[in-house]
Structure 1
Amino acid sequence: MKRIILGLSTLCLLVVTSCKEDASKKIEEANVTAAAERDANASKFPQIEFDKVEHDFGEIEKGTSVETTFNYKNTGDAPLVITDIKSSCGCTVPQDWSKEPLAPGESGKFSVKYNGSGANNITKTITVTANTEKGTEVVKIKAFVKPDPATVVN
């Protein structure tokens, strides 16, 4: 039994000591530089800044389509990529945004069309999904939808 333990101990000692090759010699300087650059850029995010975060259409007739444009600027340190823009319901349609990266300092825009459905005060949210640190930004539209005069009962 002592021979088996002694033999296994010797084998383990040989395995551990035979792998003493200097690991620092295996590291390539180009990889270290690339990793340092990657890590430095990992903390840089684009930031999206809107010219307005809410648009009020005021009073509109029921069924009247209205449209507005939201302008935005990349005020961050990395390219901004908007991957999706969705509204809170099908009556509001965001459209015409660029899916190409927007460099720091550059501006872009998208339009939002509302079909005039609903009644009285309405508020709709538009969620912008982008590669910002937060991941999503929200803008809103609102209006007072007056009833259709043809359907008003006296």
Structure 2
Amino acid sequence: MKKVYFILISLILMLIGCSTNISTDPIIEEKQSDDFKLVINTDKGVYKTGETIEIESYLEYLGEEEIQLNQEPIITIIIRNKENGSIIKQVDFDNVKTTMEKGEKFSQNLVDFNLEKGEYELFVQMSPTTVGRTTYSLNTIPRILKVK
């Protein structure tokens, strides 16, 4: 009987320990279409309340030759409350132009901000833009960012 109690208590303690762990696994999400790659990432997927959050995002051109975009794309980082869908933070890239060379990136970083306890969807989206006759519109899949 003592063994049963010992095993039961051990299991409960393991479950409590697992549920309070803060994950150090980063969030990395990318979407590639032809010569473009859109990326968003954080250094981890779970933060403690009050902990500083940093997010990096970029659009990279992978093609060989310089290209001319018909218009500057609007590229936006979005943080949305998972529970009710409200947008918590929305930031447009501020270094976008109409030409890109091989390996060039348009990027935006969000640094030194905090979120309240909860679950959030993190993603980046790009408005449609045209190169020659081809139109590109990229969006990453929303990833869950947790604050405990």
Q: If the length of structure 1 is used for normalisation, what is the TM-score?
A: 0.46
Q: Larger % of helix: which?
A: 1
Higher-Rg structure is 1
Q: Larger % of strand: which?
A: 2
Q: If the length of structure 2 is used for normalisation, what is the TM-score?
A: 0.48
